[in-house]
A and B are shown apart, each in its own frame.
Chain A
Amino acid sequence: MIELENITKKFPGADSFSVDRISFRVNEGNICVFLGPSGCGKTTILRMINRLEEPSSGNIFVNGKNVLEVDPSGLRQSMGYVIQQIGLLPHRTIEQNVGLVPELLGWEADKTRKRVRELLEVMGLKPDEVVRKYPHQLSGGQMQRVGVARAMAADPPIMLMDEPFGAVDPIVRIRLQDEFLSLQQKFQKTICFVTHDINEAIKMGDYLIILNQGRLIQMGSPIDVLTSPADEFVLSLIGEDRGVKILDLTRCETLMEPMRETPDDLMGSGCFVQSIQPVKLALEVMMKKDSDHVAVCREEKVIGLLSWKNIKKHINRVSGEDE
């Protein structure tokens, strides 16, 4: 658990606070996304958690311990750190890069080697192909994966990620996000994730913290933020397509009308979705099949019917428009 108490940060020579009286808590096993435009203080907050920056005032607790009273090197070794520029050491092989923190912690060579191979595999890289390579021989996506593998090397319970997928093209980014989310299902790390991309924030975050000019503007789950943005700033950050974004986060079962029997022609023509799939997918199916309804299934069984009318009603309700 990470807890910030009234944190402020003013860089020497700056006129205003980079981070202004911010308090929040990140629960264990959650991905907490810091979202905001450049210069809003999100990176500074992240860097204060592992003491790459020192707060001007306030306290930060990690698992109940005040970080200012902990040795900074030890603190950082106990947290994974991923940055947009990746920062792989160009003079070291991939194996040595991933094994960096274990090396600092004084692990035995054999244990480190095993761990490195295991992690590269987890990150979707072929260990035999990459361990002896140098960073400049990899593609951007591969380097990004190595960066994440390196951060996870000593199995830290906490990960700090500063736009970790920012330097790759959109297609690779989406794949990395998906893979990372499914890893998170398994490993349940406590993650602080910095991004300026609202779509990434909504996709990755269990919890969003929205910042502007050093101030905390709003915090809450993605659906909270989308349905009730705190002010004009948050509204503009979310963008015009708020309703559609909400559909991406709403499960079909939430909007469906329960029913036992569904017209066979819907099922037969493939016009159905799973109950936990997002409503956006249901829309996609409706468009493809040119239908106003889709059947909602739980596994093989039909449990309800989702209609275009309901979806429209929902969008209008949550985005506060008149019907």
Chain B
Amino acid sequence: MSPFYFILNNFSLVLEYAMNHISLVLTVLVLSLSFWIFTGLIISRYDRLASAVISFSNILFCIPSISLFGLFMTMPGFGLGRKTAVVVLVLYAMMPLVRSVYLGVKSVDASVVDAGRGMGMTTSQILLKIRIPMAWPMIFAGIRVSVVLITGIATMATFIGEKNLGRLIHQGITRGNADMIIAGAIIVSLMALLLDYIMGRIQKKIVSPGLRFQPGD
């Protein structure tokens, strides 16, 4: 039996897992983008806060995912289920997102900002019309890293009760069923690639052609 036949023979199950997987990933993505882009913008204005927040996100990122899922599961108010999975994955997305927004906004050429100020732009106009548009390429790099990351780590959420593609991999391992493992892995990878591709298309729409010579296309 090959992974392909495994998928065909268990199509409805695989489909259910895949749908669960992608709905988890999309929920996490929406929440992460709104939280962490906002956080990144806030800390770009307060340097002292920035180093604390970025160090915190680095530490979070270094904790093995399986233990973080376990830890949150035991906390009051979380337990098994989607809520815990979402919170943990959002925390994982913090590092790449906050950092890319912060660096993107901060690394805008000082002479451009100076020219903007000299033309009479206010601080918020400089943020909206100069800093954010010029930071888009770097912000998108962060978004695309976190999309791929979330899709992969979401497989771990199977241990706290998520019925997603991680379950195929996990059960494949316990049963010694290579086809099952490979089927799960392939679908997760394809999903990550697809999401990354979609993000790339959105990036092309949003990032100004004037910035196209920068990497990250």
Q: What are 23 of the A-B contact pairs (CB < 8 Å)?
A: A52-B114, A72-B120, A76-B119, A76-B120, A85-B111, A85-B115, A87-B112, A87-B114, A87-B115, A87-B116, A88-B112, A89-B130, A89-B134, A90-B109, A90-B211, A91-B207, A91-B211, A92-B210, A100-B116, A100-B119, A134-B210, A135-B210, A160-B118
Contacting residues, chain A, for B118 (C-beta < 8 A):
50, 52, 76, 81, 83, 87, 160
User: For A77, what are the chain B residues with a Cβ–Cβ distance below 8 Å?
Assistant: 119-120
CA distance A74 to B120 in the complex (A): 6
Chain A positions within 8 Å of B207 at CB level:
91
Return B163 CB to nearest CB of chain A, in Å.
44
Which residues does chain A contribute within 8 Å of B125, judged by CB atoms?
104
Beyond the given A87-B111, A101-B120, A134-B209, please list 8 additional residue pairs across the A-B interface where CB-CB is below 8 A: A83-B115, A85-B109, A87-B114, A90-B208, A90-B210, A91-B210, A91-B211, A100-B119
CB atoms of A73 and B116 under 8 A apart? no
**Distance A93 CA – B116 CA, assembled complex (angstroms):** 15
Residues on B facing A (Cβ under 8 Å): 109, 111-122, 125, 129-130, 133-134, 136, 207-211, 213
A126 CB-CB contact with B under 8 Å: no
Give the residue name and chain of the B residue nearest to A151 (CB).
B119
Q: Per a CB cutoff under 8 Å, which of A86, A88, A104 touches B120?
A: A104
> What's the Cα separation between A150 and B115 when bound, in Å?
10
A75 within 8 A of B: yes
Judging by beta carbons under 8 Å apart, are B120 and A83 in contact?
no
Cβ–Cβ < 8 Å partners of A86 in chain B:
111, 115
Interface string of A89-108 (1 = CB under 8 A from B): 11111000000110010000
List B contacts of A134 (CB < 8 A). Answer: 208-210
The verdict on A136 contacting chain B, using a C-beta distance below 8 Å, is yes
B104 to chain A, nearest CB (A): 12
Alpha-carbon separation in the docked complex, A104 to B128 (Å): 13
Give the Cβ gap from A215 to chain B, nearest Cβ, in Å.
26
B residues less than 8 Å from A83 (CB atoms): 111, 114-115, 118
Cβ of B129 to closest chain A Cβ, rounded Å: 8
A91:B119 contact, CB within 8 angstroms: no
**Assembly CA distance A6 to B43 (angstroms):** 39
* A81 contacts B115, C-beta separation under 8 Å: yes
Residues of A within 8 A of B111 (CB): 83, 85-87
Least CB separation from A105: chain B residue: B120
Q: A134-B209, A135-B210 are in contact. Are A89 and B116 (CB under 8 A)?
A: yes
The minimal Cβ–Cβ distance linking B110 to chain A, given in whole angstroms, is 9
| CB-contact partner of A91 in B113, B117, B120, B134, under 8 A | B134
Interface residues in A88-141 by Cβ distance below 8 A to B read: 88-93, 100-101, 104, 134-136
Q: A50 CA to B125 CA in the complex, in Å?
A: 18
**Across the A-B interface, the 9 shortest Cβ-Cβ residue pairs:** A87-B115, A134-B210, A85-B111, A77-B120, A76-B120, A81-B118, A91-B208, A87-B111, A73-B120
Cα separation A104 to B124 with both chains bound (whole Å): 12
| CA A78 to CA B120, docked complex, whole Å | 8
Distance between Cα atoms of A81 and B117 in the complex (Å): 10
Q: Which residues of B have CB within 8 Å of A72?
A: 120
Q: Which residue of A lies closest to B210 (CB)?
A: A134
Least CB distance from B19 to A in Å reads 38
Considering the chains assembled together, what is the distance between the CA atoms of A135 and B125 in angstroms?
A: 20
Bound form: Cα–Cα A34–B135 in Å: 36
Contact of A93 with B210 in the complex, beta carbons under 8 Å: yes
B137 to chain A: closest residue by CB: A91
Q: Which residues of B contact A73 (CB under 8 A)?
A: 120-122
Contact B119 A88 (CB under 8 A): no
A90 to B117, CA, bound (A): 16
Contacts of B213 in A (CB 8 A): 136
Q: How far is the CA of A135 from the CA of B212 in the complex (A)?
A: 12
A220-255 near B? 1/0 per residue, CB < 8 Å: 000000000000000000000000000000000000
How far does the Cβ of B39 sit from chain A's closest Cβ, in whole Å?
23
B209, chain A: closest CB distance, angstroms? 6
Taken residue by residue from 293 to 306, chain A's Cβ proximity to chain B (1 for < 8 Å, 0 otherwise) reads as 00000000000000
